[in-house]
Amino acid sequence: DTAVSQTPKYLVTQMGNDKSIKCEQNLGHDTMYWYKQDSKKFLKIMFSYNNKELIINETVPNRFSPKSPDKAHLNLHINSLELGDSAVYFCASSQGQWTGGEQFFGPGTRLTVL
Amino acid sequence: AQRVTQPEKLLSVFKGAPVELKCNYSYSGSPELFWYVQYSRQRLQLLLRHISRESIKGFTADLNKGETSFHLKKPFAQEEDSAMYYCALNSGQGAQKLVFGQGTRLTINP
């Protein structure tokens, strides 16, 4: 299937733990994104990478560290998880930094911090 | 600051009735606006963009710079239109940085 995939789909963990979410796209895109959707359904961009280079870094705690080993992958590592990190995290990709606004989204990873 | 406001969290209309999902934005530059849709058990996907001036699945949206609005309209709603709709603004300069509204859940009643 040609798509953006994320693993895991669900993640339940204790406060203080460190966890990673992985994202892969096989669309041949060179730009990838991480979004956070909070309990009120607001979808907010966190990071964007173009050709493995960080191009957007919103005001996000430095406990969040994205890593892009290649153009097809963008992983999100979160240290010292807090209750407020509970959310749905979406990965997305696009071809080029500007392609008329079309981004292709993954299915989301629901993170619950207890 | 860039902001997108969708004043209705929930909207319910009957099949065959007209639909209008409201979107207002705040942006100092020349806006690029989009509507994204998420159907049940599907991924968020682009529905339409204002620069294309296209009609997708019977939906249209007109950018009104005077009212800073980009409302989504369809003259006759269908049951398959039930979904979550997000209005988005590209606030990046040279980079694609989408700012999303809170979303409106549209339910079409039979």
**pLDDT band at residue B68, thresholds of 50, 70 and 90?**
very high
Which amino acid is it at A109? Answer: T
Helix (H) or strand (E) holding A94: strand A87-94
The burial of A22, by beta-carbon neighbours within 10 Å (0-12 exposed, 13-18 middle, 19 or more buried), is given as: middle
Among A29, A42, A58, A94, the strongest candidate for a mutation testing the B interface, having the largest count of B CBs within 10 A, is A42
Share of chain B above pLDDT 70, in %: 96
Q: Once rounded to an integer, what is the mean pLDDT over residues B87-107?
A: 86
Measured distance CA(B86)–CA(B42) in Å, rounded:
14
Cβ pair B32:A101 closer than 8 A: yes
Q: By three-state DSSP, how is residue A61 classified?
A: coil
Q: How far is B79 from chain A (nearest CA, A)?
A: 23
End-to-end CA distance of chain B: 41
B77 to A79, B18, B28, B82: CA distances (angstroms): 46, 6, 34, 9
DSSP letter assigned to residue A1: -
Q: By three-state DSSP, how is residue A101 classified?
A: coil
**pLDDT band at residue A1, thresholds of 50, 70 and 90?**
low
**pLDDT band at residue A42, thresholds of 50, 70 and 90?**
confident
Measured distance CA(B44)–CA(A30) in Å, rounded:
19
Cβ pair B96:A107 closer than 8 A: no
**pLDDT band at residue A98, thresholds of 50, 70 and 90?**
low
Write down the mean pLDDT value for chain B.
91
Write down the mean pLDDT value for chain A.
91
